[in-house]
Every structure is written in structure tokens, then in C-alpha cells.
């Protein structure tokens, strides 16, 4: 697998192009500010009366209403929630985007699951940063970046791939590495990663550990530190040098416990459930379930979200973090900015 860096990329390819970023959420905030700081001509496209307008203005970014912005765009990056993209594409992008322009995504969901079937006279590609939007911005500002995946679905003008690499480099991806993949591979692995390991698996593991200690009569504060706070310290070690570096740093006692107990929790039964989760993604069953829930006013999502927001772990955590001023000194997520 070939990894490319800034030195391998011709970012001048986008120098005279009008780049339109649709949406100013987690990724929209990061892409538009990074593109601007890299010297590109970027316009944020907003809905009429958008609540983000104030924040966009405060960041000194150009902005236009959706339809107007798309009409003169050379490249449109769709950074709306996945479930809203098909409608916005159909109503505003498809009728207005000029022939030969580029349509870009940060995740393959809509193309891979056929929610959007783009006009054939467009380039269609993906630049998917492998990290949360807030990190795409904060790492860029620190001089580093988040690795990016690129994929090409339609190459109408012949330089779609070069444009995708140029865009990835402009948002900081070329500092960490840019890898080419397909819409299918990115979509399926991204959904699996967030469901089984990064978000679903980790959150459930932390909650179950916390509950086990509290139900056994230990103080919730202790349980919070053990099962959540320390997780970051452990993951930082893994991030720096893999599981080996983490095991080098922890005590022999911890390492023995890790090696003898970990696989009792995550075992063949867990892996067989992981394979089921992957199969639901591959068959489109998960995508259908999610899109149906969105159409039903996010009924299931809202109910489950509410349930977890009130978990005792969150309450004790917010009290404890008040005492750790450094946790909030340079927050990754600042809700006043985006
Ligand atoms: P988000 O929910 O944070 O933000 C979406 C923005 O779009 C919001 O500002 C919202 O107000 C706006 N919006 C919603 N409907 C709109 C409409 N009809 N017209 C105009 N604006 C509208 O979204 P996000 O998490 O940044 O996700 C954007 C894309 O990036 C998705 O494809 C997602 O899969 C992908 N992605 C996200 C992350 C992440 O860190 N959140 C990481 C990698 C890829
Ligand atoms: Mg994802
Ligand atoms: Mg210990």
C-alpha cells in the first residue's frame, strides 16, 4: 500500500479553483479553516438563516447561500450529516453544479449505499480524514495533521485523483499520510471501526467497567478514574508505540493481568458478534436501519442518546473534571466556535 505525503502532491492544482464547503459542523469547520489557512479560495455554503453564520463570520471565512455558492463552484465538498446529503444534493447541488466540476465527500456512505447517484459529467471523489473534525483542525494548527483516505468514484476530467490528493494535502493530511482506497472499503471499515472498537466497543467497555465497580460498592469517583480517565493515558501510549509500548510502560503486575484477563472478555463470542456487525454493514442492513430511523425523526437515536446522557458516569465525570483545570485549558471541542 502506497502512502503519499505533501512532497508527492501538486496542491497548485486547486490554486485557481473555487472550493465550496457545504455545512459548518465538525468536519466543515476543520476543512474550511484549514483550506483558508493553506491559501485556497474557500466559501462556506450555508442554509438561509443558518445558526452557523455568526461563527463563520467570526472565523473570517467567505460564505454564501447554498444555491448561489454551488453555481460558481469548481469543487463542492459535502459536509452535512450523511443522512441529509441526498436531499441537499438533489435539490441544490445537482441542478446547479457546472459540468466538469468536482463533487467530494468525507465518507463513502451516500455513494456506496446508492443514496446519491451523481450526474455523469462530474468528478466524484472522497477525502476522508481518519479522525474527528476538531482534531483535523487542532493538529493542522499545531503543524501536524490527520491521515486521509482518498477514493475516486468518477473521473470525468481525468485529474480527479490529483485533485483529491491536492485537497487532502490542503487540509493537513499530507503531513501524516494519504492513502488511496475505494468508496466500498472506506465505508465498510469506517462503520465497523466506529461500531465495534472506537465508539461502540469502547464506550460500552468503559460503562460496564464503571458499573461493575460501583455495583460492588466502590466509590463512583474511583470507578471513573480507573475506567475512563486512565484510558486516555493508556491509549496515548498505544498511539505512540502500539500495544508493545503500552505494555513496556505499565507494571509487570498490570501486564500479567492484561495478558491473562483481557481475552476472557474479548473472546470468540465477542469476535463472532463483531463478524455479525460487519455482515450487517456489508449487506446494507445497517445503512437501511439508520436511514429509516432518520426518516422517523431519529426516534431510536434520540431515545438511546438520552438514556446514555444520564448515565451516572457522566455526572461524576463532570464534577471531577471541574477540578482538573488542564483538561479544559485547550479543549478539542469548543461549542462556541463550531
Ligand atoms: P455535523 O453534524 O457535525 O455537521 C453538519 C453541518 O451541516 C451542521 O453545521 C448542520 O447545521 C449542517 N446542515 C445540516 N443539514 C443541512 C442542510 N440541509 N443544508 C445546509 N447545512 C446543513 O457533521 P460531520 O460530523 O462534520 O459530518 C460531515 C461528513 O463528514 C459526514 O459525511 C461524515 O460521515 C464525515 N466525517 C465526519 C467525521 C467527524 O469527525 N464528525 C469524521 C470523518 C468523516
Ligand atoms: Mg464514521
Ligand atoms: Mg493500576
d(CA 111, CA 124) in angstroms, rounded, equals 9
The protein residue with its alpha carbon nearest to ligand 1, atom 40, reads 132
Report the percentage of the chain scoring pLDDT > 90. Answer: 94
H helix runs in the chain, sequence order: 26-37, 53-58, 66-71, 82-88, 109-112, 133-141, 160-170, 173-176, 183-192, 200-215, 220-224, 230-249, 252-265, 268-282, 285-295, 299-309, 312-322, 325-329
Residue 294 grid coordinates:
432518520
Tell whether the torsion through CA atoms of 270, 306, 214 and 202 is positive or negative: positive
Q: What average pLDDT does this structure show over 93-115?
A: 98
pLDDT at 135 over 90: yes
> How confident is the model at residue 323, as a pLDDT?
85
**How confident is the model over 238-271, as pLDDT tens digits?**
999 999 999 999 999 999 999 999 999 999 999 9
Ligand 1 pocket mutation, candidates 21, 23, 111, criterion most atoms within 8 A of CB: 23
pLDDT at 134 over 90: yes
Assess whether 107 carries a catalytic annotation.
yes
For residue 264, what are the contacts with CB-CB under 8 A and spacing of at least 6?
none
Ligand 1 pocket mutation, candidates 80, 112, 181, criterion most atoms within 8 A of CB: 80
Tell me, in angstroms, the distance from the centre of ligand 2 to residue 277's CA: 15
pLDDT at 338 over 80: no
Q: What average pLDDT does this structure show over 31-44?
A: 98
> How confident is the model at residue 325, as a pLDDT?
77
Beta-ladder partners of 148: 129, 178
Tell me, in angstroms, the distance from the centre of ligand 1 to residue 213's CA: 37
H helix runs in 72-159, sequence order: 82-88, 109-112, 133-141
For residue 84, the ligand closest to its alpha carbon is 1
CA-to-CA dists, residue 8 to 106, 160, 162, angstroms: 21, 16, 10
What does the DSSP assignment read for 232-253?
A: HHHHHHHHHHHHHHHHHHS-HH
**How confident is the model over 56-69, as pLDDT tens digits?**
999 999 999 999 99
**How confident is the model over 275-333, as pLDDT tens digits?**
999 999 999 999 999 999 999 999 999 999 999 999 999 999 999 998 887 777 777 77
Class of residue 204 by CB neighbours under 10 A (exposed 0-12, middle 13-18, buried 19+): exposed
> How confident is the model at residue 335, as a pLDDT?
78
Residue 92 grid coordinates:
441544490
> How confident is the model at residue 87, as a pLDDT?
96
Class of residue 100 by CB neighbours under 10 A (exposed 0-12, middle 13-18, buried 19+): exposed
Q: What average pLDDT does this structure show over 28-47?
A: 97
Looking at 31, 63, 107, 134, which residue is catalytic? 107
For residue 186, the ligand closest to its alpha carbon is 2
Q: Are 126 and 78 in contact (CB under 8 A)?
A: no
Beta-ladder partners of 78: 22, 105
Q: Which atom of ligand 1 is nearest to the CA of 133?
A: 40
> Any residues with Cβ below 6 Å from ligand 1, and which?
23-28, 47, 52, 79-82, 84, 88, 106-107, 128-129, 132-133
The protein residue with its alpha carbon nearest to ligand 1, atom 8, reads 25
Tell me, in angstroms, the distance from the centre of ligand 1 to residue 26's CA: 6
With b for 16 or more beta-carbon neighbours within 10 A and e for fewer, the 239-263 pattern comes to eeeeeeebbeebeeeeeeeeeeeee
Amino acid at each position: 500500500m502506497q502512502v503519499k505525503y505533501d512532497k508527492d502532491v501538486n496542491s497548485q492544482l486547486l490554486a485557481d479553483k473555487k472550493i465550496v464547503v457545504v455545512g459548518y459542523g465538525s468536519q466543515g469547520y476543520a476543512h474550511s479553516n484549514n483550506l483558508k489557512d493553506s491559501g485556497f479560495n474557500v466559501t462556506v455554503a450555508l442554509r438561509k438563516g443558518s445558526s452557523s453564520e455568526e461563527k463563520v463570520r467570526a472565523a473570517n471565512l467567505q460564505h454564501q447561500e447554498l444555491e448561489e455558492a454551488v453555481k460558481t463552484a469548481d469543487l463542492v465538498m459535502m459536509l452535512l450529516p450523511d443522512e441529509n446529503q441526498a436531499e441537499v444534493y438533489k435539490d441544490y447541488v445537482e441542478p446547479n453544479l457546472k459540468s466538469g466540476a468536482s463533487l467530494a465527500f468525507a465518507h463513502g456512505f451516500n455513494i456506496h449505499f446508492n443514496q446519491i447517484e451523481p450526474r455523469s459529467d462530474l468528478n466524484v471523489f472522497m477525502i476522508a480524514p481518519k479522525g474527528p473534525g476538531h482534531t483535523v483542525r487542532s493538529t493542522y494548527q499545531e503543524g501536524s495533521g490527520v491521515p486521509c483516505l482518498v477514493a475516486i468514484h468518477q473521473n470525468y476530467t481525468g485529474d480527479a485523483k490529483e485533485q483529491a490528493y491536492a485537497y487532502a494535502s490542503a487540509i493537513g493530511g499530507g503531513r501524516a499520510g494519504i492513502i488511496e482506497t475505494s468508496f466500498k472499503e472506506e465505508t465498510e471499515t469506517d462503520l465497523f471501526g466506529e461500531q465495534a472498537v472506537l465508539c461502540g466497543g469502547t464506550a460500552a467497555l468503559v460503562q460496564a467497567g464503571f458499573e461493575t465497580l460501583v455495583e460492588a460498592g466502590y466509590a463512583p469517583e474511583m470507578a471513573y478514574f480507573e475506567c475512563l480517565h486512565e484510558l486516555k493515558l493508556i491509549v496515548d501510549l498505544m498511539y505512540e508505540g502500539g500495544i508493545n509500548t503500552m505494555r513496556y510502560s505499565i507494571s509487570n503486575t498490570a501486564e500479567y493481568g492484561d495478558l491473562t484477563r483481557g481475552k476472557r472478555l474479548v473472546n470468540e463470542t465477542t469476535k463472532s458478534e463483531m463478524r455479525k456487525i460487519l455482515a450487517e454493514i456489508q449487506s446494507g442492513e445497517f445503512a437501511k436501519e439508520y436511514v429509516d430511523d432518520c426518516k422517523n425523526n431519529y426516534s431510536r437515536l434520540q431515545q438511546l442518546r438520552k438514556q446514555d446522557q444520564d448515565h451516572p458516569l457522566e455526572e461524576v465525570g463532570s464534577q471531577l473534571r471541574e477540578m482538573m483545570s488542564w483538561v479544559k485549558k485547550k479543549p478539542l471541542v469548543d461549542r462556541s466556535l463550531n
